[in-house]
């Protein structure tokens, strides 16, 4: 197969795919922000007992937010994808394939 036929069959990436991927990145960054705040509090040796407790709670929330946040994002993305597939005539135009952003050989 030559290069011209591959380029002609390329289907562009749609914005909802980028939005779905970005939502998982947002959860990742929020999770690690909580963990970094806790680590910075350890580096700066904060000795207040109440503040240490708050930072420890923030660490637990950050660790658990990874799983809970990804589950929530997955449910939202699946719901959004289901709506897009139901309205595929309006959104996708003449594309009838489900392989978005890949080569259709």
Do 58 and 31 form a contact (C-beta atoms < 8 A)? no
Q: What is the pTM of this model?
A: 0.61
What is the number of other CB atoms lying within 10 angstroms of the CB of residue 11?
Answer: 14
The two three-digit tokens of residue 88, written as one number = 């595929």
Which structure tokens are listed for 84? 């897009």
- Report domain extents, the chain: 13-88
Look at residue 73 and tell me whether its pLDDT is greater than 60: yes
Least confident of 9-13, 66-70, 83-87: 9-13
Q: Is residue 26 within 8 Å of residue 68, measured between CB atoms?
A: no
pLDDT of residue 74: 92
- Sequence-ordered list of residues with C-beta below 8 angstroms from that of 31, at least 6 positions apart, any chain: 62, 63, 65, 66, 69
């Amino acid at each position: 197969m030559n290069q011209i036929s591959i380029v002609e069959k390329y289907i562009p990436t749609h914005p909802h795919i980028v939005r779905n991927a970005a939502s998982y990145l947002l959860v990742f960054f929020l999770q690690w922000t909580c963990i970094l705040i806790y680590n910075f509090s350890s580096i700066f040796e904060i000795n207040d007992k109440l503040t240490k407790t708050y930072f420890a709670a923030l660490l637990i929330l950050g660790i658990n937010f990874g799983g809970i946040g990804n589950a929530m994002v997955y449910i939202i993305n699946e719901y959004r994808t289901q709506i897009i597939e139901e309205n595929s005539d309006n959104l996708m135009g003449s594309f009838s394939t489900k392989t978005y952003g890949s080569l259709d050989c």
